[in-house]
Amino acid sequence: MTGRSLLDNRLLCGAIGIAGLFCVAELAGRTGLIDPIVFPLASTVVGRAVELAADGDFLADVVSTLGAWAAGLLLTVLIAVPVGFLLGTLPRVESALRPVLEFLRPIPSVALIPLALLLFSDRFDMKVAVIVYAAWWPVLINTMYGLRDVDPLAKETLRSFGFGPLAVLWRVSLPSTAPFIATGVRLAAAIALILAISAELLGGGSSGIGTFILESGSSTDALEYTVAATIWAGAIGVISNSLFTLAERRLFHWHLARTEGTR
Amino acid sequence: MMRFLRALGRLWLVPVVLVAWEAATRLAEDIFFPPPTTIAARMHEMWFSGPAERLWLTDAALENIPTSVGRLFAGWLLAGVIGVVLGVMLGRSALLSRFIDPLVQFGRAIPPPALLPFFLALFSVGAQMQIATIVFGIVWPILLNSSDGARHVDRQHLETSTVFGLSRSQRLFWVILPSAMPKIFAGLRLSLSLALILMVISELVGSVNGIGFQLLDAQRSYDLPGVWGTIVVLGVLGYLLNSVFLVAERRVLSWHRGANRTT
Amino acid sequence: GSDPADTAEAGAAGGLEKAEITIGALPIPDSAALYIANERGFFKEEGLTVKIETVQGGAQAQQSLIGGSLDATQTNYVSTFLAVSAGNKLKIVSDLYQATPDSFNIMVPKDSPIKTPADLKGKKIAVNSQKNIGTLAVTSVLKAHGLTAEDVTFLEFPFPEMAGKLEQGIVDAAWMTEPHLTAVQKNIGAQKLADTMTGPTADFPIAGVVVTEEFLTQHPKTVAAFQRGLAKAQQIAASDRKAVEKILPTFTKIDAATAAVITLGTFPTSLDETRLQRVSDLMVEQGYLKTAVPAKSILPGANG
Amino acid sequence: MLEISNLTHVYGGGPGAHHALGGIDLKVAQGELVCIVGPSGCGKSTLLRSIAGLLRPTGGTVTLGGKPVERTPDDLAVVFQDYSRSLFPWMSVGDNVALPLRRKGMDRPRRREAATEALEQVGLAGAAGKYPWQLSGGMQQRVSIARALAYRPALMLMDEPFGSVDAQTREDLEDLTLRVRSHHDMTILLITHDIDESVYVGDRVVVLSKAPATVAGDLRVDLPGPRDQITTRENPAFVHLRAEVGRLVRGMRNDPAVSS
Amino acid sequence: MLEISNLTHVYGGGPGAHHALGGIDLKVAQGELVCIVGPSGCGKSTLLRSIAGLLRPTGGTVTLGGKPVERTPDDLAVVFQDYSRSLFPWMSVGDNVALPLRRKGMDRPRRREAATEALEQVGLAGAAGKYPWQLSGGMQQRVSIARALAYRPALMLMDEPFGSVDAQTREDLEDLTLRVRSHHDMTILLITHDIDESVYVGDRVVVLSKAPATVAGDLRVDLPGPRDQITTRENPAFVHLRAEVGRLVRGMRNDPAVSS
Ligand SMILES: Nc1ncnc2c1ncn2[C@@H]1O[C@H](COP(=O)(O)OP(=O)(O)OP(=O)(O)O)[C@@H](O)[C@H]1O
Ligand SMILES: Nc1ncnc2c1ncn2[C@@H]1O[C@H](COP(=O)(O)OP(=O)(O)OP(=O)(O)O)[C@@H](O)[C@H]1O
Ligand SMILES: [Mg+2]
Ligand SMILES: [Mg+2]
């Protein structure tokens, strides 16, 4: 392999990037920049994270969190995209709802989760509700902003052939907005994961990454466990994002071709 | 004057929602869901019962709200700069993105509260650590949307700038950034509300003032009207910030609205 | 959960209104008896299935009680009194944990200039939660040395991070409990400044099991069965330290070696009104409660 | 069939307002092919968009078959001047052509068949599976013509439809348009800058003045049909008309569009 | 000045690959104006994009002033076929024209002056403050011509630059191009579909065959200068050349682009 083709290898480059971060973190610990008592060494934490991979209970926690994550994300997309289209195409409705929406947007999870605990008797429902609440904003906003970017001539073309507003929405606005909505979904995916873990952390439960962190709270090594679990969250983020990117590349090849996508 | 009245007219939904909220909570008589009037009374007591020469703001209001909002702005601006710079770099450089992208995806999926100890270790308690937390939590929508915008610049626009020999910086400032601007603005708008949320989260540990501290304090004292009052303050702040943001956006993106208007 | 379906099941399960309950517990030594009872089948003997879920703290657990995702939960008494005074209708059905000397101490770094609690004036003290047992207990120590709560600043940090905060100098002292007390002495050589469970807080009640009043009135037999099962476990925990040491690593991340050396509180075998009243009185004295809440009102039997 | 009376349109408002149409009156009979010529920027596309109901004119009326045009009329097809932007990049060329046929209630195989046929007619037999951005400019323009032709509308509006193709293809497309028109009894409005073309394909040539546009001339083209690229263009009447239109167009521009 | 030898380009790969350029050889001397004509979709724009360094050809070489073109050469201006997408919608028309002049190290007032002058030359005196999307198609095309002219490049590539303007404006723009060329010693490659135009403005007319494109004819235009719209077009040599080019273009298309 030549140097050039090595640099073309995404997996290799990504691994080098991650390894670089690891080395920097380890060095910061070793040189005393960050006292290992205050924040554990990178190697310790990664060791713990690797140990966890063999821990059946923890893997069950991961699966449980992923379940709520997937359900929440799916529901998010199903709700946010249509609402985004509604608000994006009906400016009057949007400006009427705006004060309420903008009021709701900055409510933090620490305030939200206790309320959700009051309202839901089922933990899974509670998690999904909290995820949808927090994760739907990026999809909503990206949908609304994406709609503004639709080429008016493309819409007029379809209108001139006698298609109604719904058909224009479905056949022009949706496909041309889709790539930007997808970016919103990728944003939402990470937020959903964060909220799933936070809901388990604040709301308790019997399984989930957040519950795992809770349970380790009694340990004197709690910080190590927390950070190790966090690394797992990050890894899940990287993997899910790669899957999304892969799907986007297949679905939106036309978009890349037209816009000189740098790959 | 007319414009002011028209702007006021757009808020018609607010009283409707308030009345419905009041009615619902009065009927439910749940101590966890106090009626808005009770919340307002508590808010008045907490923040707005001060002397007239200080605009009726109490000590608590003057101590907590400006500090929090200050951190919020610092965090948001910093995140804006970092997000746009890094996002555009990742969007335009395939090589860089191959190395850095996994790190970004990794960081994105990490729950910001889990990193509080890390930032505490780096910056110790205080504004620095809180701003770091805010930046870390809200930079992702800006970063992702900027990189999406920078990556998908119309090919013909890039070719035009190549052909006329625009320098790298000219190309960046006159072609890539303006073209990505609508998407960047979507990210900035998302982050603004997220900044409020992260502001609260950053004030949860080791803090002695701020809106988040007050929220926590109210939660700990079972002061439910106080909890709701803080949520209302956050919501109102969110709405106000967003309104100002939209005014700025309308100026910067006026070309975009014009170019994509359909008749 | 108190819908008719639950009640219908009850007939089959030896007359209990609800044969399966979910209880929230914190992964700390306080709740050891719950796990002992489950492990040794004490609840099963009563015809009860108890599912234990981990919770983050008293406040959230109480919200889960009201929302219905939990039927009962472990909670500390300070939170309970605060909740009741705010209008929640809660009942304590079992006592779980009580302080012993040296179970909750104020710690200072190795070479700290702070030698007595009186030196804490103007200093920062880490507690795990604002307005809770920690601040209450520390304040009572401060009072004994002529200071008030206003003379210090309480900062909130999770127990596991306190060692780092002491080391970094972010706080000058930290109110800690086991197993962190043992660890902080070993890891950074921190020293005990004061035991906070002396004088007015000696043998202070820490944690118990709470249900909503509604749950209690609708499921009296279930609650009774639960109480009986737990009482047996409390008995064992109180008398057999080894049993506690053995159960700890199963529901916490405290390993066996640590479990063997840490200072444990005691596991009371009965609910005692006068002891609980001390919590309320101290809270009134320090302004946590505006009016006294009679302990009787949060015990079963009294309709408050 | 189409009646336009006193149509005016002003873009924007205030001091920067631009008066694009200054009162246009025009009648087009069923089955007629009317060519519209006029200086660049005079308002031809604006007029066309008003007829298509894509733009609400600030004054005057457009009626189609007796009914005022409020929204886009049924059975209409438009070939846009900016053809490349009016093709959907996420669809293959074949799908782009077939899409409007859904409105006609055709089933999938028939849509596909009609699209293939229309693409063949414009000389793009093999291109159905490609994407618009894989085609040259002239090919894209022909796709958008194929899309309009396949739709077989009652009224067809064409905005400089043959501007990007070579001379030979242009002639072929002109003949194709004439043929399709007579087969399917379409009414066609065709904007063009090529004066020869306007006379060759048009039943009438309408000349617009510079902005604000008004009708500066309306010439009936009385040439024997069927027209033929060689004989028609050699016809003295053709040569005369062409000069006439040319004179009118030039007359419109009393100030030079390009300074010398 | 410009030397192209055995240039080939294949789009894509595998069975769907499209051979656009099939070995093109061409030499253009300093100051020459070469017109390129050829059937639609033959590869003219592809050739132009290879010369501009926007596309890496799959074979052959392009050298400019002795140096092989690897990346976009300095001192180059292009008028794109898809002019509307090559204007920046976020800038006023004036700024669009002035932007490339930053490269020339002009200060702000001089840039503005040059832009205004170029816009005037193409007949858009008052349009500097408008945005591109407020202009008609032909006006947008003229803006992109003005941008290229104001830049005063050593090499100018124009891809159907006058396709969307009326006949009169077209003639004016042709003359403007000729004038600017002789004043500033530019080398110009101009793609056009108008055979008359190619003979009128060109020093040479290069005819490309259909895809894969090769040079099918290379005619020197020996007409007396300075050219004039009326006298030149009446010159028998002009009429002869025009017929010659027409014959060549038609000969390229042994299969019909448009079926009859
Ligand atoms: N969205 C708009 N806002 C403001 N002015 C506009 C807008 N669209 C068009 N105009 C103006 O209206 C006039 C007529 O435009 P139109 O597109 O109808 O011209 P046209 O006759 O089609 O010209 P061309 O032959 O160049 O395509 C132009 O001067 C143009 O500047
Ligand atoms: N990105 C691409 N992918 C695949 N094929 C392409 C691509 N771009 C162009 N082609 C093909 O290459 C051929 C030549 O295209 P080009 O744009 O050079 O033609 P042209 O001579 O400029 O035609 P026109 O006069 O219609 O503009 C066309 O057949 C086209 O389908
Ligand atoms: Mg037009
Ligand atoms: Mg071309």
Question: Which residue, B38, B70, B50, is CA-closest to B232?
Answer: B38
Looking at the complex, does the CB of residue D260 fall below 8 Å from at least one CB of chain E? yes
pLDDT in tens, E93-138: 999 999 999 888 888 999 999 999 999 999 998 899 999 999 999 9
Residue closest via CA to ligand 2's atom 29 equals E41
Residue C174 pairs in a beta bridge with C107, C126
pLDDT of residue A172: 92
Contacts of B262 in chain D (CB under 8 A): 54
Residues recorded for chain E: 260
Number of domains in chain B: 1
Mean pLDDT of A172-178: 92
Q: Is residue B5 assigned to a domain?
A: no
Find which of E139, E258, E260 to mutate to test the D interface (most D CBs within 10 Å of its CB): E258
Q: Select from D73, D76, D85 the Cβ nearest to the Cβ of A154.
A: D85
Do residues E161 and D33 make contact, with C-beta atoms less than 8 angstroms apart? no
What is the rounded CA–CA span in Å between residue C133 and residue C120? 18
Contact assessment for residue C52 and residue A215, using Cβ atoms and an 8 Å cutoff: no
Q: Which of E137, E152, E167 is at the close of a domain?
A: E152
Q: Does B236 touch chain C (CB under 8 A)?
A: no
Distance from CA of A175 to the nearest CA of B (A): 15
Q: What is the CATH number of the domain that holds D169?
A: 3.40.50.300
CB proximity D232 to E under 8 Å: no
| Domain assignment of residue B244, yes or no | yes
User: pLDDT digit string (tens) for C247-303?
Assistant: 888 888 888 888 888 888 888 888 888 888 888 888 888 888 888 888 778 887 654
Greater model confidence, D110 or C4: D110
How high does pLDDT run on average in chain A?
86
Residues with CB under 5 A from ligand 4 (ion): D 136-137; E 45, 81
Of D54, D80, D133, the CB nearest to A258: D133
Give mean pLDDT, residues A220-244.
Answer: 87
Q: Which ligand places an atom closest to the C-alpha of E40?
A: 2
Q: Does D250 touch chain B (CB under 8 A)?
A: no
The rounded Å distance from CA E136 to ligand 1 centre is: 4
Cβ contacts of C86 on chain B, cutoff 8 Å: 31, 222-224
With touching defined as 3 or more inter-chain CB pairs under 8 Å, the answer for chains A and D is: yes
pLDDT tens-digit readout, D204-220: 999 998 878 899 889 99
Q: Rounded to an integer, what distance in angstroms lies between the CA atom of residue E257 and that of residue D162?
A: 14
Give the number of the ligand closest to the Cα of residue D165: 2
Flag the least confident range among A9-18, A99-108, E199-208. A9-18
Mean pLDDT computed over C36-44: 86
Q: Which of helix, strand or coil describes residue C272?
A: coil
| pLDDT computed for residue C14 by the predictor | 61
B260 touches chain D (CB under 8 A): no
Q: Is the same domain home to D246 and D218?
A: yes
Q: Is the pLDDT of residue B103 over 60?
A: yes
**A200 and A127 Cβ atoms separated by less than 8 Å:** yes
| Residue E256 pLDDT class (50, 70, 90 cuts) | very low
A172–D contact, CB cutoff 8 A: yes
- CA pair distance A191, C253, nearest whole angstrom: 28
C-beta D19 within 6 A of ligand 1: no
Does C66 contact chain B (CB < 8 Å)?
yes
Residue nearest to atom 23 of ligand 2 (CA): E41
D136 lines ligand 2 (CB under 6 A): yes
Chain E contact present for B165, CB below 8 A: yes
> Whose CA is closest to C175, among C146, C195, C203?
C195
Examine the domain organization and report whether E131 and E205 are in the same domain. Answer: no
Whether omega for the bond prior to residue D100 falls within 30 degrees of 0, making it cis, is no
Q: Ligand 2 centroid to E211 CA: how many Å?
A: 9
* Full residue range of the structural domain in which residue D60 is found: 2-75+154-258
Q: E60 and E138 share a domain?
A: no
Same domain, D65 and D176: yes
Same domain membership, residue E237 and residue E108:
no
List residues bridging with D26 in a β-sheet. Answer: D4
Q: Is D40 in the pocket of ligand 1 (CB under 6 A)?
A: yes
Tokens describing residue E233: 């077009």
d(CA C197, CA C104): 6
DSSP code of residue A205: B
| pLDDT on residue E260 | 42
pLDDT value of residue A3: 53
Positive/negative CA dihedral, C224, C226, C229, C233: negative
Q: Is the CB of E20 within 6 Å of ligand 2?
A: yes
- Asked if D172 and D148 sit in the same domain, the reply is no
- Residues D175 and D114 occupy one common structural domain: no
| DSSP β-bridge partners for residue E159 | E191
Minimal Cα–Cα distance from A60 to chain C, Å?
15
> For residue E252, what pLDDT is reported?
62
CB contacts, 8 Å: A38 with chain C: 164-165, 167-168
In angstroms, what is the span from residue D149 Cα to ligand 1's centroid?
26
pLDDT in tens, E63-84: 998 888 888 888 899 999 999 8
Tell me: do D71 and D91 sit in the same domain: no
Q: Do D234 and D164 belong together in one domain? A: yes
The verdict on D174 and D233 lying in the same domain is yes
Q: Where are the domains of chain A?
A: 55-262
Residue C232: predicted pLDDT:
85
What average pLDDT does range A160-182 have in this prediction? Answer: 91
Query: Does residue E22's CB lie within 6 angstroms of at least one atom of ligand 2?
Result: no
Q: Do chains E and C touch (3 or more CB pairs under 8 A)?
A: no
The predicted structure's pLDDT at residue A260: 56
Q: How far apart are the C-alpha atoms of A55 and D225, rounded to whole Å?
A: 88
- Min distance D181 CA to chain A CA atoms (Å): 18
Number of Cβ atoms within 10 Å of the Cβ of B261 = 10
Q: Give the gap in angstroms from C-alpha B206 to the nearest C-alpha of chain C.
A: 5
Give the mean pLDDT of chain D.
89
The answer to whether residue B111 sits within a structural domain is: yes
Say yes or no: CB of residue E31 within 6 Å of ligand 2.
no
Task: For residue D9, give the ligand nearest its CA.
Answer: 1
- Structure tokens, C117: 């609690």
- Work out how many CB contacts closer than 8 A connect A with B: 216
Question: Most confidently modeled of C60-64, D243-247, E44-48?
Answer: E44-48
Q: Residue B165 is nearest to which of E72, E82, E85, comparing CB atoms? A: E72
**Mutation test of the interface with chain D: which of A153, A155, A157, A258, choosing the one with the most D Cβ atoms within 10 A?**
A157
pLDDT of residue B262: 59
Q: E6 and E69 in one domain?
A: yes
Q: What is the pLDDT of residues B27-73, one digit of tens each?
A: 877 777 888 888 888 888 877 777 777 767 777 777 778 888 888 99
Q: Which of E152, E167, E195 is the last residue of a domain?
A: E152
- Class of A55-262 in CATH: mainly alpha
pLDDT band at A263 (very low <50, low <70, confident <90, very high): very low
B220 shares contact with chain C (CB less than 8 Å): yes
Q: Per-residue pLDDT tens for C175-207?
A: 988 888 888 888 888 888 888 888 888 888 888
In angstroms, rounded to a whole number, what is the distance separating the alpha carbons of residues B50 and B53? 9
In a domain, B109, yes or no: yes
Looking at every residue in chain B, the average pLDDT score rounds to 85
| Ligand (nearest to CA of E163) | 1
Atom 2, ligand 1: residue with shortest CA distance: E134
Looking at ligand 1, which residue's alpha carbon is closest to its atom 11?
E135
For the domain that residue B222 is a member of, what is the CATH number? 1.10.3720.10
CA distance A244 to A213: 27
Q: Is D168 in the pocket of ligand 2 (CB under 6 A)?
A: no
Chain B contact for A194 (CB, 8 A cutoff): yes
Which band of pLDDT confidence, cut at 50, 70 and 90, is reported for residue A4?
Answer: low
State the distance from the centre of ligand 1 to the C-alpha of D233, rounded, in angstroms: 32
Domain boundary among E123, E152, E181: E152
**E and D in touch (3+ CB pairs within 8 angstroms):** yes
Contact E120, E199 (CB under 8 A): no
ipTM of predicted assembly, 2 dp: 0.88
| Three-class secondary structure assignment of chain D | CEEEEEEEEEECCHHHCEEEEEEEEEEECCCCEEEEECCCCCCHHHHHHHHCCCCCCCEEEEEECCEECCCCCCCEEEECCCHHHHCCCCCCHHHHHHHHHHHHCCCHHHHHHHHHHHHHHCCCHHHCCCCHHHCCHHHHHHHHHHHHHHHCCCEEEEECCCCCCCHHHHHHHHHHHHHHHHHHCCEEEEECCCHHHHHHHCCEEEEECCCCECEEEEEECCCCCCCCCCHHHHCHHHHHHHHHHHHHHHHHCCCCCCCC
| Rounded Cα gap, residues E173 and E148, in angstroms | 13
pTM above 0.95, yes or no: no
Mutate to test the pocket of ligand 1, among D9, D18, D162, D208 (most ligand atoms within 8 A of CB): D18
Instruction: Based on the fold, state whether residues D158 and D143 are members of the same structural domain.
Output: no
- Which domain range does residue B124 map to? 40-48+60-153+181-254
Which whole number is the average pLDDT over E13-42? 90
Distance of CA C194 to the CA centre of its chain: 20
For residue A116, which residues of chain C lie inside 8 Å, CB to CB? 67
Cα angle for residues B183, B196, B78 (degrees, 5° grid) = 60
Cα A69 to ligand 4 centre (Å): 49
Quick one: average pLDDT of B4-20? 80
What's the whole-number average pLDDT of chain E? Answer: 88
Q: E209 in ligand 2 pocket by Cβ < 6 Å?
A: no
What average pLDDT score do residues D167-196 get? Answer: 91
Number of domains in chain E: 2
CB-CB neighbors (< 8 A) of D16 in chain B: none
Q: What is residue D72's predicted lDDT score, i.e. its pLDDT?
A: 86
Is residue B138 a part of any domain in this protein?
Answer: yes
Which tokens is B222 given?
């079972």
